[in-house]
Amino acid sequence: MAPRRRGLSEHDQAEWANYARRIAPLRGTVPVAPAAAANAMEPVVSRLDEPIRPPRALRSAPHVAVGGQPGGIDTGTWKRFAAGKLPTVRRLDLHGQTTQRAFHSLMAFVRTAHADHVRCIEVITGRGSGEQGGAIKREFPIWLNLPEIRPLILAASHPHAANSGSVRLLLRRIRR
């Protein structure tokens, strides 16, 4: 395997300069000279085989699925939670609400419960009348994975296999 070059070739620098000439700087910023911009690219070009990862604070939590055991929870806690043996402290009933109102109610409910150090909550979506359930039930898993509340939720499960219209959420603990 041939050794990797460091920096940009003359052709790449010319292409970059051509591209940079067509970009207008934002108001209140100082434009960067093409040579300086090309030199600023060198560290990125020299590490092309390394994956670019966002800072830890910006990484999203893994996808949460209702009923699936996530990482970060021990088996004993998961079994107690999935069997409905962890007591729920708060309950939110979304019956009769529009999807928009239910969404905002859920967001506020989860944030408040997490801020109050509540560990286990229950959200009643209802079963719905359609084949796949109602609109709130269909949207609920998507809402759980939105970046606004996903970092607050550790796991989700139905309290009983026959009760698909209710979901229990295990919230993450606030580390001090």
Q: Which CATH number fits domain 63-171: 3.30.1370.110, 3.50.40.10, 1.10.286.10, 3.30.930.10?
A: 3.30.1370.110
The yes-or-no verdict on residue 52 having pLDDT over 80 is no
| Mean predicted confidence (pLDDT) in 102-123 | 91
Between 135-144 and 99-115, two packed helices, what is the crossing angle to 10 degrees? Answer: 40
| Mean predicted confidence (pLDDT) in 155-174 | 79
Q: Catalogue the long-range contacts made by 112-117 (C-beta closer than 8 Å, 24 or more residues apart).
A: 113/89, 113/171, 114/152, 114/171, 114/172, 114/174, 117/173, 117/174
Domain ranges of the chain: 10-45, 63-171
Return the higher-pLDDT residue of 51 and 131. 131
pTM score, whole prediction? 0.60
Residues 154 and 36: their CA atoms lie apart, in Å, by 45
| Mean predicted confidence (pLDDT) in 142-153 | 86
| Mean predicted confidence (pLDDT) in 75-97 | 85
The yes-or-no verdict on residue 126 having pLDDT over 60 is yes
pLDDT more than 70, % of the chain: 69
Question: Which of 169, 166, 167 lies closest to 154 in space, CA to CA?
Answer: 169
**pLDDT for the residue 22:** 80
**pLDDT for the residue 42:** 47
> How does residue 44 score in pLDDT terms, banded at 50, 70 and 90?
very low
Residues 143 and 102: their CA atoms lie apart, in Å, by 10
The yes-or-no verdict on residue 161 having pLDDT over 70 is no
Amino acid, single-letter form, for residue 131: E
Question: Which of 70, 63, 160, 143 lies closest to 101 in space, CA to CA?
Answer: 143
Both tokens of 147, joined, read 């970046």
| Mean predicted confidence (pLDDT) in 53-72 | 61
**pLDDT for the residue 121:** 92
66-79 per-position pLDDT tens digit: 777 777 778 888 88
Which of 33-37, 111-115, 143-147 bottoms out in mean pLDDT, i.e. has the lowest?
33-37
